[in-house]
Amino acid sequence: MSLRLAVATEDFGTHLKQAIGLAGTCEVPGLRLNCRTEVRAADATQSSLRQILLYVRERQMKIAGLLCPTRHSLYDSEYLEERLSTIRNSMSLARKLDTSELLIRCGRIPDPESNTPAPAVTAIEIDEQANPFSFAKTPTNTSQNTAATEFALLCEILNDLTQHGNHVGCTLNLQLSTYNLPLVNRLLAEVKAGPIKIAFDPATAVMTAANVVRTYRDIYQNVGYIRARDALRDIDGAGVEVAVGDGTVDWTQFMPTLSEADFNGWICVERTGGDERAEDVRKGVSLLKSLIPLSGG
């Protein structure tokens, strides 16, 4: 099975029409859009969506999912209704752009067995650590919710969203801050209203001291999307995202693993920080293209 590469328009640092043109020079079949900064559901018209699809198709590409970034965990009580409304609208937008994947941040998965008060939300997400343009978080959880009640709320939210996904033909792909496999499996088992997948990110695995290939093999049946990022981890336990090929991810091992697992989703080459994001993406695409024939593509 051939592996499908994609790039994200936001990495080209320009307006959408020009970014689509630049992405076309990477000669990949997929293009991921940001539905908070580039194609907002509230502003999109049928005419504007048709024009976007025309630009993409002229370059022999397809929309490879939408990214719906949020500043807070999915279950954070601050701006919860507004956040969920944005996600629902983005899910409805996906089908209009001939795609079925929406990537959203889940945040830390609370421990369903813990009745101790949940910690205040102060940790910055992995993406935000690597992205100098992100907003730092301030403590937002001032209630006495326990981790168990937060887990129950997260499950309720995901069941509601996946049920909406059934109606609009969109599958959620969760971006996780860590790969705590027991918690990941417990969460997925509690979401029964509709399909849900994991957006697997090798950089997150590296920055949280998880083995990339072993972690993927443990959850591969639940992975629907790959965020092809790289990272370095230092002796103090901190991590930083770097260009694909410049970090510690063993792509010569990981790409064949995807092929062996018959992965049929998108592999989006990304660079969320740095001064040469577009060029880093091009180099990453070139590297992964060279490995696809080795992995059965």
122 has pLDDT over 60: no
What pLDDT score does 134 carry? 41
**H or E element at residue 38:** none
Return the residue matching tokens 């290939």.
213
What pLDDT score does 297 carry? 38
Question: Alpha-carbon distance 162 to 78, whole Å?
Answer: 21
Give the other-Cβ count within 10 Å of 252's Cβ. Answer: 12
102 has pLDDT over 90: yes
What pLDDT score does 152 carry? 96
The tens digit of pLDDT for each residue in 216-239 reads: 999 999 999 999 999 998 777 678
Q: How many domains does the chain have?
A: 1
Question: Alpha-carbon distance 166 to 122, whole Å?
Answer: 34
pLDDT band for 83, please (50, 70, 90 cuts).
very high
Residue 248's domain comprises 4-295
Q: Say if residues 40 and 63 touch (Cβ distance below 8 Å).
A: no
What pLDDT score does 142 carry? 46
Question: Alpha-carbon distance 52 to 48, whole Å?
Answer: 6
Geometric angle at alpha carbon 57, from 53 and 63, rounded to 5°? 60
Helix axis angle, 277-291 to 251-260, nearest 10°: 60
Question: Alpha-carbon distance 18 to 14, whole Å?
Answer: 6
pTM of the model: 0.89
Give the other-Cβ count within 10 Å of 264's Cβ. Answer: 11
Question: Alpha-carbon distance 52 to 228, whole Å?
Answer: 24
The tens digit of pLDDT for each residue in 235-263 reads: 776 789 999 999 999 999 999 999 999 99
> Can you give the CATH number for the domain in which 70 is found?
3.20.20.150
Phi (first) and psi of residue 266, to 5 degrees: -85, 145
134 vs 13, 33, 124, 148, CA distance in Å?
A: 15, 18, 10, 29
Beta pairing, strands 101-107 & 62-68: parallel
Q: CA torsion sign, 144 to 146 to 151 to 152?
A: negative
Question: Alpha-carbon distance 88 to 165, whole Å?
Answer: 8
Mean pLDDT along residues 174-184: 96
Question: Which of 27-36, 62-71, 237-246, 274-283 has the least mean pLDDT?
Answer: 237-246
| Token pair recorded at residue 206 | 């590296």
Give the other-Cβ count within 10 Å of 170's Cβ. Answer: 27
Spacing of C-alpha 133 from chain mean position = 17
Question: Alpha-carbon distance 231 to 274, whole Å?
Answer: 12
User: Which of 74, 72, 59, 63 is CA-nearest to residue 24?
Assistant: 59
CB crowding 3-12: b at 16 or more within 10 Å, else e: bbbbbbbbbb
Q: Say if residues 192 and 159 touch (Cβ distance below 8 Å).
A: yes
Give strand pairing partners of 174.
104, 198
Q: Mean pLDDT in the chain?
A: 90
Phi (first) and psi of residue 38, to 5 degrees: -115, -45
What pLDDT score does 267 carry? 98
Report the percentage of the chain scoring pLDDT > 70.
Answer: 89
266 has pLDDT over 50: yes
140 has pLDDT over 60: no
The tens digit of pLDDT for each residue in 11-60 reads: 999 999 999 999 999 999 999 999 999 999 888 999 999 999 999 999 99
**H or E element at residue 44:** none
